[in-house]
Amino acid sequence: MKVRLMSIATVAATAATVFMGSWAIGGAAGQAPPVKHCGSACAERVRAKALERHYQRVWSSAPAAMRAHLRRIAQCESTNNHRAVSANGLYRGLLQFDFTTWGSVGGRGDPAAATRWEQWARGVRLYRSRGAQPWPVCKNR
């Protein structure tokens, strides 16, 4: 099964639809039950949970051999620390992305600030497009 890495906007829209849609089902005479607005903090939590589930599915859908190789690369690159930053500050996160590579796989902001699941999912995307080439020191682990 191949799972595509969706954009943040797509996942957010899907989460909002699912969240709001769950209230729209049922109700008296076709009316939706009254809904308490949970506010932007609640909506942000729903969006964040939907994103994490998406990233987990991307990781889980990758072939076992690819996941095992990426785990070995992460151990070599960052000792599995998803907040790791290289001494010179250029490489960041679990798989030591630089900002250009992180952006090329859809990442935004600082890779070391992203969740572990997002880093794994973006690592899968990078591995699918370029193999182990982005990790010259650790690719043979």
Phi and psi at 85, nearest 5°, equal: -130, 130
pTM of the complete model beyond 0.75: no
What's the CATH number for 63-141?
Answer: 1.10.530.10
Express each pLDDT in 40-87 by its tens digit: 788 888 889 999 999 999 999 999 999 999 999 999 999 999 999 999
Domain ranges (residues) in the chain: 1-61, 63-141
Assigned token pair, 7:
């954009």
Distances (CA, A) of 22 to 26, 32, 44, 73: 9, 10, 17, 41
Assigned token pair, 97:
């992305």
